A and B are shown apart, each in its own frame.
Chain A
Amino acid sequence: MALNIDIKQEQAKAQEHIKEQGLRVLVCAGTGCVANGSLKVIEKFRELGANVSTLTDYDKMTIVPTGCHGFCEQGVLVIIPDKHVTYVKVKESDVEEIFESHVKNNQPVERLLYTDPKTGEHVHKNDDINFYAKQTRTALKNCGKINAESIEEAISVRGYEALAKCIEENNPDGIIDTITKSGLRGRGGGGFPTGMKWKFTAANRGGKSYVVCNGDEGDPGAFMDRSVMEGDPHKLLEGMAIAGFAIGADEAYIYVRAEYPLAIKRLRKAIADAEEKNFLGKNIMGSDFSFTIHIKEGAGAFVCGEETALIASIEGERGMPRPKPPFPANKGLFGRPTLINNVETLANVPLIILNGAEWFASMGCETSKGTKTFALTGEVNNTGLIEVPMGTTLREIIFDIGGGIRGGKKFKAVQIGGPSGGCLTEEHLDISMDYDSLIKAGAMVGSGGLVVMAEDTCMVEVARFFMNFTKNESCGKCVPCREGTKNMLKILEKIVAGKGEMEDLDRLEQLALSVKDGSLCGLGKTAPNPVLSTLKYFKDEYIAHIRDHKCPAGVCTAMKKIVIDPEKCRGCTKCARTCPVGAIEGTVKNPHKIDPAKCIKCEACLNACPFKAISKE
């Protein structure tokens, strides 16, 4: 189809405009860095940059608020690409120094550079920081490099070029073939081949059909979709439009969690900007193809991540799953054929169209192609968002990219895939992170949340935590899930309270298997996974709680006792003043004592004691 727009020309124009910006200073304005004060950093930079006649080499400086760089731990991040420098933990009060010393006089501010925890040396360049060096950022490539709220910046990095190509070539089946050949699989957890899903929906071309983007990233500990929506919203919109063109849909919905207000705001702006440019809306770029995207805000229900529940929620109903078939590809939103893909899956689409199926298939491993984003959190030195080729080992992720365990503690396990996933232990550190190897190990890629746990994390308590989550989120439709999760939680609560019996372990296992078999949707089918996998790998911890009334990790309050060592206590009274319940007694310069009947085991005293005289047993 002929287009009334030359996208290459638009690109050249946009790149020209960006050159005119002079020295670009990128400041992260993702949720994490905003919480650390990045808006004030931006304001301060702008204030200083307003009058920059003294700049060497540049006549102008432009402050670019970007999406998430991924290295949230080190926020606020400031990157000056032309000066090959990344500053970390920048505060408002540091801005003047960066400006005076580096921007004006080319002298880097050493103290604000990232310090490698292993070598203790300062690292200047972004790519030399270990956290980034081992990553392959494709879906996240633009996140943190462009102004997420500017369509021009998106165009300058080849935004909407893939869409223009697709419409111009006018070969919808060819697009589906390319996606199929690339080997792309659903990034939301299931890992279903994306090309196949498109093909099924495209079989119903002719009538009204929909594209739905699943942005209901509900797994606690996962935030990769948020980062894409906040950092590079146009890539997602473009991916959706290409999907719509391929399957013959003219309308789409993005379902976003209400907990992500910034993502919603940026998506709304991106849609409006794209419509104004005629990259979305009626007769896109002068062609016959029209495509409208709406945003639907979720209202806080984990089960809505399940595709049939999500459809019910978009229709304004209680988000309860229904049996499949019929699959959404045949009968989905408002009873029409519907293609549902996750944010990250759709964000990969424009790249595959531009670079080819072979390029994508050359990354990753045999059965899982391309890259995958993971949210790396918990007891690891470098927390943040990462993207690595499928098949990277857990060891590389935790110890190279993640920089190892915090505070020199010992690695114990990693919880992958949220409440539907499982635990991996030391023996799995060299496992290939791909869909099939993880299923074999009793876990799953899931949405990609990786929560690292150290020796002081109690695995029984972790199982209780996840069961509490799924119990709360069970929609109540299937009895085995509704009652089963409740009863498994009761047993786990009993065990962490030190009142468990050995028979409880068999009961737990039996219940877990019935919930798995008797539930309709993914939530129920996977809810027992955390219990089953902790029982498999950490049975000794369960037994220690039950038989010895001991929590080996020293977490479970019922079995914990906080004591003061009279030898070490100097009677400084700090603990007594810190205790929120007045459980500590003693006189100045004499050893203090904790009244176990009053103590709520909050550990406030333990942290307050300057002489390390307080410990837990």
Chain B
Amino acid sequence: MSGTSTKLDFRVLDEILEQFEYKKSYLIAMLQKVQEVYRYLPEEAMTYIGEKIDGLSPATVYGVATFYAQFSLEPKGKYEIKVCDGTACHVRGSMPVLNAIRNKLNLKEGQTTCENGLFSLEIVSCLGACGLAPVCVINDKVYPQMTSDAISVILDTLLKEEGVN
């Protein structure tokens, strides 16, 4: 797996554990913090947390990490694209938008991150902005009433900013 071999700075992890007082009931919050720092959950980090905290094991940490959709075991892209496929977005055409993104970024079905690591794509169920369906979110910015043309323009702008054609 690419990206997982980077050496981790355990001091960063210690700080996170400290912040949550080494309590196992804060495991989810700790993992959220780790993912915020690394954009994914490195295997060593999960093992480290599992060994350091009373009442946890690396296996339980891995179990929690794989249960929740928010956690990624692979590095996410610099731009995280979320396509909402909640009921309202689905009915108003989120699939054509998704297909347009896949076409533009050369992503096959099931592939989540672009080869250059710039973009990662995720389908989420309902962001609660149903009045603006269909919506996409790119790094926390909500783009309302998307169409396949509109999303292409947005991606073109981002690609241009990054110097990719």
Contact = CB atoms under 8 A, between A and B. Distances in A.
Q: Bound pair: A and B?
A: yes
A220 B87 contact: yes
Contacts of A415: 87
B103 interface: yes
B128 A259 contact: yes
A223 B103 CA distance: 31
Interface string B114-136: 00000000001111111111010
B96 A378 contact: no
A296 B63 contact: no
Given A223-B130, A260-B128, A580-B103, A602 B148 contact: yes
B111 interface: no
B127 to A, nearest CB: 5
B87 A418 contact: yes
Nearest to B87: A221
A472 B141 CA distance: 26
A306 B56 CA distance: 24
Contacts of A261: 140
Nearest to A303: B67
A389 B25 CA distance: 40
Nearest to A456: B91
B132 A317 contact: no
Nearest to A415: B87
Interface in A351-388: 375, 377-379, 383-385
Given A259-B128, A300-B70, A35 B29 contact: no
A92 to B, nearest CB: 15
Contacts of A384: 131
B24 interface: yes
A75 B136 CA distance: 17
Interface string A445-463: 0000101010001000010
B25 A383 contact: no
B130 A316 contact: no
B32 A297 contact: yes
Nearest to A454: B91
Contacts of B67: 301, 318-320, 475
Contacts of B100: 580
Nearest to A259: B127
A584 to B, nearest CB: 16
Contacts of B87: 220-221, 377-378, 415, 418, 449, 451, 465-466
B86 A220 contact: yes
B71 interface: yes
A580 B99 CA distance: 10
B131 A316 contact: no
Contacts of B142: 31, 34-35
B90 A604 contact: no
Contact of A375 (B71, B130, B148): B130
A449 B129 CA distance: 12
Contacts of B143: 35
B64 interface: yes
B126 A36 contact: no
A264 to B, nearest CB: 11
Contact of A221 (B60, B88, B141, B148): B88
A602 B99 contact: yes
A314 B131 contact: no
B27 to A, nearest CB: 4
B38 interface: no
A313 interface: yes
Contacts of B28: 296-297, 299, 313, 316
A73 interface: yes
B144 interface: yes
A16 interface: no
A221 B86 CA distance: 6
A222 interface: yes
Contacts of B27: 316-317
B91 A32 contact: no
B39 interface: no
A148 interface: no
A300 B68 contact: yes
A35 B144 contact: yes
B90 A465 contact: yes
B88 A377 contact: yes
Contact of A72 (B96, B103, B125, B131): B131
Given A449-B87, A602-B99, A31 B128 contact: yes
B128 A226 contact: yes
A186 to B, nearest CB: 20
B164 interface: no
A72 B25 contact: no
B56 to A, nearest CB: 9
Interface in B57-98: 60, 63-64, 67-71, 85-88, 90-92, 96
Contacts of B70: 258, 298-300
B126 A221 contact: yes
Contacts of A71: 131
Contacts of A378: 87-88, 91-92, 133
The 7 closest A-B pairs by CB, nearest first: A72-B131, A220-B86, A300-B69, A299-B68, A377-B88, A35-B142, A220-B126
Interface of B: 23-29, 31-32, 60, 63-64, 67-71, 85-88, 90-92, 96, 99-100, 103, 124-133, 135, 140-144, 148
Given A299-B70, A465-B90, 8 more contacts: A32-B129, A297-B29, A316-B23, A378-B87, A378-B133, A451-B87, A451-B88, A472-B125
15 contacts: A32-B131, A36-B132, A73-B132, A220-B125, A221-B87, A223-B128, A258-B70, A296-B28, A297-B28, A300-B69, A378-B92, A379-B92, A469-B125, A475-B67, A580-B103
